[in-house]
Amino acid sequence: MSEAALATAPAEFAPWKDSQATPLIRFQNVTKRFGDFTAIDNLTIDIYEREFFALLGPSGCGKTTMMRMLGGFETQTEGTILIDGQDVGPIPPNKRAVNMMFQSYALFPHLSVAENIAFGLKRDKLPKDQIAARVDEMLNLVQLGKFANRKPHQISGGQRQRVALARSLAKAPKLLLLDEPLGALDKKLRQDTQFELMDIQEQTGTTFVIVTHDQEEAMTVASRIAVMDHGKIIQVDTPAKIYEEPGSVYVADFIGDVNLIEGSVTTSGDDHATISWAEGQQNLIGIAHDEIPAGTRATLAIRPEKVNIATERPAEMTNIIHGKVLDIAYLGNMSTYVIETPTGQHIKAQAANTRRIARRAITWDQDVWLSFTDTAGVVLTS
């Protein structure tokens, strides 16, 4: 790295933008069928070294199949999978520089924590002292030094998760696969563990591919997320892009809470599109990078927290919707308001509760104005 490069602030980690970077994993037109069922449908994707890549989707979308093909437990029906430039099709799981952390953890119940971690190292016929040193290193990494001699059933669920992680990292794989790694933990523990996972990924510099159906988890840990459905990747992007600028209604709806306002495009261009959506309501403007022909049916996707709610008509906002408060859900730190427009559509707005509940002005059946900026929502045609 040159002096100049070092001098600048930490560079953004985005190898997928760099046309020179060679991907660690390449799926090339991969299809996997189980009998008549197509689990993976002509899928092509590149994943880069040091990425924390999340495969996100509902159950049955093919995300686990993709991971199992990387691990060597399934073979694709068509297409090629390359890891580090090598076609891994004919390579069995035990010959791949890939390790997997199983959803059930799959800890060997008859072996102690230390023996579990040493298991893979022993298969490599490493000298004894080297194995012991590596096991110690791994135990320290996951802070389980005290539990080295316990059996898996003698430790808690969170500790088991860490043993599974340590075992799969012990052989220093090029690629670590994590199948719903935090699925069995309760919510509080899951959040702490997410940060731990990110730290460990950074410390070891291993490429992580994680399978999850929990969008919050994917958003927290991943450098990029692939949203999958029916064996296809719908969108691959950074968590922020996926959330702020979903490419399709499916992605917008799958990630987080969203208002989907259907209408037809009136004008488009200059990265924006306008839709007319209901009689008596003002047209709405949102982001649209591609030009959309006028008259096309389109959906404006707008997140509730980007919608302002006020009791008086705001002066200079681009997008304004008039309606009546139908419902208020008080969530403690914020409230969600469901507004019914005169034409009967429901739109959600979220506001942080910065004042005590008794002082707030908005109540049921009140006339309110919703407003948002022209970059808050996106206009989607698919």
Partner 1 sequence: MRRLSWFNTVSLTLGFAFLYIPMLILIVYSFNGGKLVTVWAGFSTKWYGELFRNEAFLDAAWVTLKVAVMSSSVATVLGTMAAYVMVRAGRFHGRTLFSGMIYAPLVMPEVITGLSLLLLFIAIGLDRGVLTIVLAHTTFSMCYVSVVVSSRLVTFDQSLEEAALDLGCTGFEAFRLVTLPIIAPAVISGWLLAFTLSLDDLVIASFTSGPSSTTLPIKIFSAVRLGVSPEINALSTIMITLVAVGVIGASLTSKRAIVKRAKDEQEAIQ
Residues that bind partner 1 (CB under 8 A): 71-73, 92-94, 98-100, 102-104, 106, 108-110, 119-120, 123-124, 150-151, 153-156, 159, 167-168, 171
State which residue, 99 or 274, has the beta carbon closest to partner 1: 99
What is the C-alpha to C-alpha distance for residues 230 and 215, in angstroms, rounded to an integer? 17
State which residue, 104 or 130, has the beta carbon closest to partner 1: 104
Q: Are strands 319-330 and 367-372 parallel, antiparallel or unpaired?
A: antiparallel
For the chain, give the longest Cα–Cα distance.
79
Query: What's the min distance (Å) between Cβ of 191 and partner 1?
Result: 20
What is the C-alpha to C-alpha distance for residues 349 and 306, in angstroms, rounded to an integer? 7
Query: What's the min distance (Å) between Cβ of 159 and partner 1?
Result: 8
What is the C-alpha to C-alpha distance for residues 70 and 43, in angstroms, rounded to an integer? 13
State which residue, 16 or 105, has the beta carbon closest to partner 1: 105
State which residue, 44 or 104, has the beta carbon closest to partner 1: 104
State which residue, 61 or 100, has the beta carbon closest to partner 1: 100
The dihedral sign for the CA sequence 163, 166, 171, 176: positive
Query: What's the min distance (Å) between Cβ of 117 and partner 1?
Result: 10
State which residue, 172 or 310, has the beta carbon closest to partner 1: 172
Q: How far is CA 72 from CA 91, 160, 216, in A?
A: 7, 24, 28
The dihedral sign for the CA sequence 176, 179, 185, 186: positive
State which residue, 88 or 309, has the beta carbon closest to partner 1: 88
What is the C-alpha to C-alpha distance for residues 82 and 23, in angstroms, rounded to an integer? 9
State which residue, 98 or 227, has the beta carbon closest to partner 1: 98
State which residue, 103 or 282, has the beta carbon closest to partner 1: 103
Q: Count, in order, helices (H) and strands (E) of the chain.
A: 9, 20
**Which H or E run includes 167?**
helix 157-169
DSSP 8-state assignment for residue 156: -
Query: What's the min distance (Å) between Cβ of 119 and partner 1?
Result: 5
State which residue, 170 or 376, has the beta carbon closest to partner 1: 170
DSSP 8-state assignment for residue 18: -
Query: What's the min distance (Å) between Cβ of 27 and partner 1?
Result: 20
DSSP 8-state assignment for residue 293: -
Query: What's the min distance (Å) between Cβ of 171 and partner 1?
Result: 7
What is the C-alpha to C-alpha distance for residues 192 and 239, in angstroms, rounded to an integer? 19
Q: Is 11 helix (H, G, I), strand (E, B) or coil?
A: coil
Query: What's the min distance (Å) between Cβ of 330 and partner 1?
Result: 34
Nearest CA-CA partner of 210 in 172, 244, 179, 186: 179
Nearest CA-CA partner of 350 in 330, 365, 368, 364: 330
What is the C-alpha to C-alpha distance for residues 69 and 88, in angstroms, rounded to an integer? 9
Query: What's the min distance (Å) between Cβ of 233 and partner 1?
Result: 25
What is the C-alpha to C-alpha distance for residues 127 and 346, in angstroms, rounded to an integer? 67
Query: What's the min distance (Å) between Cβ of 150 and partner 1?
Result: 8
What is the C-alpha to C-alpha distance for residues 367 and 60, in angstroms, rounded to an integer? 44
Query: What's the min distance (Å) between Cβ of 350 and partner 1?
Result: 38
- Evaluate whether 156 touches 148 at the Cβ level (below 8 Å): no
